Structure 1
Amino acid sequence: MKYALPIRAVLSCLAFASAVAAAQDIVALRQADMKAIAAAAKTISGMFKEPTTYSSLEFKQAADTIRDKSGEVLIGHFSEITADPRSRATPDIVEERDRFDRLANDLTAYASALSTAAVENPQAMSDSMRMKPGEPMGGGPLGIHVRSEATLSSIPAEHVFHLMLQTCATCHSRFRMD
């Protein structure tokens, strides 16, 4: 019985250490996923800037990376806000959970539409993937959120890509510390 108190203290310390390690792991995981999303977006952006570099396989892989790391995965990464100094997430995520979740799910929808566009354009970046001069952008923080698969498939992939980038910018401006 004389060892009961020290054992409880050790177990409490271990539980606390495990909680701290888990929090650090989630911060590292979400930062790694955000870097993967950024790299994938850069790949797609490069192909729109220089269409001769278009590869439907690479375009699709990049879109699939964004799709797979957004939506429910992204929401799960931010289910709790940690006090970890490496985290740049604001407490507003908890206070505005519905808005954050909508943005994470919009990102999935846009990435899925980009993946479909790559499948539908296996050879080269077609004119149907490109925005036309003077075409209105819509979307973003002050515009509409296009979630309908039918609507997304009816607009150029480049427009979808801009909607996706606006979604990222909206989320970062609201839920990420400078």
Structure 2
Amino acid sequence: MKIRLIFSLLCLSLLSCGDDKMPKPTGQLSLEYPPAKYMKFSNSCGFDFDKNELAEVKTTSNCGLEIHYPKMKATVYLTYKPVQSNLDKLLTDAQKLTYEHAIKANDIAEQPYINLDNKVYGMFYQVGGNAATNAQFYATDSTKNFVTASMYFYSKPNFDSILPAADYIKNDMRKIIESIKWK
């Protein structure tokens, strides 16, 4: 009986030993998106541009546009305003909107944009860090037309998590500013 008890305890102790369970390290998503294909987008406002085929455009009031990226849970908001002796105010408002994100931003990089052939002049802003928007721009012909654009995600900003989607949409925003044609 003693041998049986010792044998049972020995078997039980051998079976109960095993690898300690370790928590898995936090993983990062590997997000990849298909190459962008662009098509011309026309509207009844004062400009046309090229947009990504994956994006869905919704027209809002006063020539505003919402360019939705459902798979990335993001939207680029485009606002059109006519220039009527108010160019200084429009420029100041666009710059102010960008620099309101300086509180959360790590940095804000400005890239001037000039297209003499199409008379498009503007500024492209890249906002680094956990700011609400990661990219913005404004474009104008300085006489009749003024457009601003801002990118927003439908979640709390976490720059590391949204970086692949933010980079993808930034490229689309660059394509928009580069392809603007005034009517």
Q: TM-score, normalised by structure 2?
A: 0.29
Higher alpha-carbon Rg: 2
Higher relative contact order (CA 8 A, sep 6+): 1
Which protein has the bigger strand share? 2
Which protein has the bigger helix share? 1
